[in-house]
Amino acid sequence: MVKSYLRYEPASVFGVIVSVESNIAYDSSGKYLLAPALEKVGVWHVRQGVCTKTLTPSTSSSGPSLAVTYVVSSPSSLIASGYADGSIRIWDSDKGTSETTLNGHKGAVSALRYNKAGSLLASGSKDNDIIIWDVVGENGLFRLRGHRDQVTDIVFFDSGKKLVSSSKDKFLRVWDLDTQHCMQIVSGHHSEIWSLDIDLEERYLVTGSADLELRFYTIKHDSVDGLPIPTVNETEIVGDGDLSMQSKWEVLKYFGEIQRQSKDRVATVRFNNSGNLLACQVAGKTVEMYRVLDDSEAKRKAKRRLHRKKEKKHGKGSSELTERGGKNDEQNEGEHISSMNHITKEPNNLEITVPDVFRHLHTIRASKKICSISFCPTTPKKSLVTLALSLNNNLLEIYSIESNADSKTLAIELHGHRSDVRSVTLSSDNSLLMSTSHNAVKIWNPSTGSCLRTIDSGYGLCGLIVPHNKYALVGTKGGSIEIIDIGSGTCLEVVEAHGGPVRSIAAIPNENGFVTGSADHDVKFWEYRIQQKSGQPTKHLTVTNVRTMKMNDDVLVVAVSPEAKYIAVALLDCTVKIHFMDSLKKFLSLYGHKLPVLCMDISSDGDLIVTGSADKNIKIWGLDFGDCHKSIFAHADSVMAVQFVPRTHYVFSVGKDRLVKYWDADKFELLLTLEGHHAHVWCLAVSNRGDFIVTGSHDRSIRRWDRTEEPFFIEEEKEKRLSEMFESDLDSAFENKYAPKEELPEEGAVAVAGKKTQETLTAADLIIEHLDRAEDELKHIAEHQEQKNNGEVTVFQPNIRMNGLSPSDYVLSAFSNVHSNDLEQALLALPFSDALKLMPYMKEWVSYFDKVELVCRVGTVLLQTHYNQLVTTPAARPLLTALEDTLYDRVKEWKDTFGFNLAAMDHLQQLMASRSDALFRDARSKLLEIRSEHSKRLEGRSDNREEKQRKKKQKKST
């Protein structure tokens, strides 16, 4: 009889606050902060410091979970998240559900940005391409090619008509989205450009790289409402003689640069929403804040700078005049007055430089390396702006920025470890989980994933929860054993146990004792009891050393057999020594591993011992004679932990290859491979009933895997693994390594947005299947009609597979199952013969009012793909002519309907505005009026000040 097993599946992930590889972003309201946590996106309520919801991809998607690499929020409630495989998911933040998935990139998504309306989404990737997505239509519009390296940042401007992108190839590219071509290539940086941004009014563009300065560019706009917008260069740099020769394609013009304070490379540059602050985050612990001055302040600062410069020149000139003896005092005074008049009459040649506009405010210094920053879109009352930081130690910090200082208002840190999870330990009743890291011990509820206690400690390498769940023991890297009171969350006592790191703790069954193994070559036996020490008011757990066993090398692991008869000790010399517990005499030596044994466990019946080593193998030994039953090449890297499921011979193993594997130690078969971790898996704990396991990893996550009631068979799993290998070979066949490599794209080349995936191939197969079935049905209908015309009385039997639909509607139903983003690639996979079969149905679909858009998309793709063959095929010409006659009319009817509805909505808006008591005025013109009045007043004040200073100097000189 074939044996069946019960499947384990991922249940929950906890302990991760924010990923290192991704950015953070506020939502449009400013109340919530989006923090990617590996494959999930946590939505944190900023004031409460609580994760209100988690955006998690559906588990139905095949393959391992992929980490989020970029996240951005739209002006509405939509959130876009990019993943390591190049896919992009659009989420509804209110519902917490994924609206759609966009597939187009072949590499990880490295940049995302919405336009101001939120209708377009631009994505950049490690595959050097930029894709523009239609968020409403849920499909890709076009792909922009031209960069020679990873795209690092992108931003829309000019009402979403243009796009600027930066790349590691040291160039900026300006793209015209209407004509879909590259307008301008900007050079100047000597190293990779890592980030760029444009202020709210789209006056300046700033770029940051590994260079020691920030570079600024002014932006030339085409027009708004038909009137040209003057740029900073045209209005203020009058002395520039070659402005008239400026090319119409030169959108970005170099403005200047600012020397940065930090020598680390720039990671992110961002303007806040109001545009008066600029943050420059470097790949270190600092964020440099700059104040952005408006036009009037910048002019005033430039005037003061020019005035000081003239004063210095005049000071030198007056000293020369005093040295001259040929002129009298009246002549000297006349020259002095004329020179001062010359100073005040030079505002026409005023040139504003970058330091006149951008003034360094102060520098924010964090405790650890900063991964990303995000400005809060809403302005607080008591400060300039709120800034969120994500640190590389799994920490979120919120800062309040003031004009002369900054203060940390919130730190989200209690929900996870600051570094790797080095050990996980379950209590005897599985109600508590203890995890250790380099500076803290955390107690978790394994069923909910909530953190119950956080206790400061040393570098914990191993742990043990004492029965009754009141106390815990932690072995540290410093050689001490820490006694922790779980109820109060305090460290009661630190016992100096060993002269080297305590690498392993093993409980002695049915006794109040445990064993520790250390790098100081000692294995120590301990007893614990609850007693009251002198000078302490209450009783608590104390430990005493009973026996010590000296070994001839560093002890890596210790394990005690279930009946406490044997103790197994793994040494640094790649051997495992088995001794009797009572007499400590040597019983067996296990030889065979080529590298040190890092983990081991003994089965509940005491028959088997399994060892895992740095040589990537696990070995199954008999504990009666010490014979090796089987050596299995288990992982692609070091095996870090192995453990038997209680009362079985099933074994779990974890390794540095990020995998969790489930084995049958009797049949020596691999049962399951559990994928989910994004870095080395360090530790493993199995519940005493075997209903779930817990793993801890270098990615700072703790994952729980639950046993389900779903049975599986070894043969089925083998076939499944083979089919997955076959599918992966199919995916790699799309890009055959023996095929000639694709040439580098032309400057600003445009390509199709989507990519060929398993879904698009399945959709193409479905369309072909429906076409063939509909063609057979049409032949069947024609035969029945011919029999009817010949006078034969027959009953027509339709194909039951067509669900009672006509051939045309049946083919149309195939397109309803194709995702909008996959439609183009599915049609590209159709051969010409099937494309020719499809075109007659489109003539009938045009009559359906809601299918006009679909017909337009299908017809456009087929015509662009098979243009030459369609033109030269006589059977296709009548179809093209019929579509030309009907399609244009239907599209015009749709266009008129949309135009009428938009005009009606504008009219209703005007009616509502006229009935309202509030005064509606153009905000931009009003703002410009206020600024011009303010600047005039300031100029008048500055002129009065200059006049007073001139009179004072005249009096002093006389």
Overall average pLDDT of the 949-957 stretch: 69
**Tens digit of pLDDT for each residue in 800-820?**
888 888 888 888 888 887 888
- Report whether 362 contacts 348 (CB < 8 A): no
Confidence of residue 112 (pLDDT cuts 50, 70, 90): very high
User: What CA–CA distances, in Å, run from 822 to 554, 854, 863?
Assistant: 58, 13, 18
- Report whether 675 contacts 690 (CB < 8 A): no
- 870 beta partners: none
Predicted confidence at residue 253, as pLDDT, reads: 92
Predicted confidence at residue 323, as pLDDT, reads: 52
Predicted confidence at residue 930, as pLDDT, reads: 66
- 507 beta partners: 514
- 259 beta partners: 213
Confidence of residue 149 (pLDDT cuts 50, 70, 90): very high
- Our CA dihedral for 53, 58, 63, 66, rounded to 10 degrees, sits at -30
**Tens digit of pLDDT for each residue in 346-396?**
445 578 888 889 999 889 999 899 999 999 998 888 788 999 999 999 999
- Report whether 581 contacts 566 (CB < 8 A): yes
The answer to whether residue 887 scores a pLDDT higher than 70 is yes
Write the CB contacts of 221 (distance below 8 Å, at least 6 apart in sequence): 158, 202, 228, 229, 231
User: What CA–CA distances, in Å, run from 909 to 5, 159, 352, 905?
Assistant: 66, 22, 42, 6
Confidence of residue 823 (pLDDT cuts 50, 70, 90): confident
The answer to whether residue 35 scores a pLDDT higher than 60 is yes
Phi and psi at 158, nearest 5°, equal 55, 55
Overall average pLDDT of the 95-124 stretch: 91
Confidence of residue 62 (pLDDT cuts 50, 70, 90): very low
- Our CA dihedral for 624, 629, 633, 637, rounded to 10 degrees, sits at 0
Confidence of residue 740 (pLDDT cuts 50, 70, 90): very low
Predicted confidence at residue 956, as pLDDT, reads: 67
Predicted confidence at residue 820, as pLDDT, reads: 80
Mapping DSSP onto H, E and C, the string for 555-597 reads EEEEEECCCCCEEEEEECCCCEEEEECCCCCEEEEECCCCCCE
Predicted confidence at residue 760, as pLDDT, reads: 82
Mean pLDDT score of the chain:
85
**Tens digit of pLDDT for each residue in 560-594?**
999 999 999 999 999 999 999 999 999 999 999 99
**Tens digit of pLDDT for each residue in 646-685?**
999 999 999 999 999 999 999 999 999 999 999 999 999 9
Q: Which secondary structure element, helix H or strand E, spans residue 634, and what is its range?
A: none
Helix axes 295-323, 329-344, angle to 10 degrees: 160
Rounded-to-integer distance, Cα 589 and Cα 599, Å: 16
Query: 3-state class of 801 per DSSP?
Result: helix
Phi and psi at 575, nearest 5°, equal -110, 165
The answer to whether residue 751 scores a pLDDT higher than 90 is no
CB neighbours of residue 309 within 10 Å: 11
- Pick 721 or 745 by higher pLDDT: 721
**Tens digit of pLDDT for each residue in 209-238?**
998 999 999 998 765 444 444 444 433 333
Of 105-109, 256-260, 694-698, 738-742, which gets the smallest average pLDDT?
738-742
Rounded-to-integer distance, Cα 944 and Cα 950, Å: 10
Amino acid in position 714: I
Query: 3-state class of 683 per DSSP?
Result: strand
Predicted confidence at residue 315, as pLDDT, reads: 72
Write the CB contacts of 134 (distance below 8 Å, at least 6 apart in sequence): 119, 120, 140, 141
User: What CA–CA distances, in Å, run from 320 to 37, 111, 939, 958?
Assistant: 70, 60, 32, 17
Residue 444 DSSP code: E
- Pick 258 or 65 by higher pLDDT: 258
Rounded-to-integer distance, Cα 63 and Cα 718, Å: 16
Confidence of residue 312 (pLDDT cuts 50, 70, 90): confident
Amino acid in position 181: H
Q: What is the helix, strand, coil percentage profile of the chain, to 5?
A: 25, 40, 35
Identify which of 563, 523, 518 has the alpha carbon closest to the alpha carbon of residue 547. 523
Amino acid in position 823: L
Q: Which secondary structure element, helix H or strand E, spans residue 706, and what is its range?
A: strand 702-713
The answer to whether residue 882 scores a pLDDT higher than 90 is no
Write the CB contacts of 305 (distance below 8 Å, at least 6 apart in sequence): 356
Confidence of residue 407 (pLDDT cuts 50, 70, 90): confident
The answer to whether residue 243 scores a pLDDT higher than 70 is no
- Pick 443 or 885 by higher pLDDT: 443
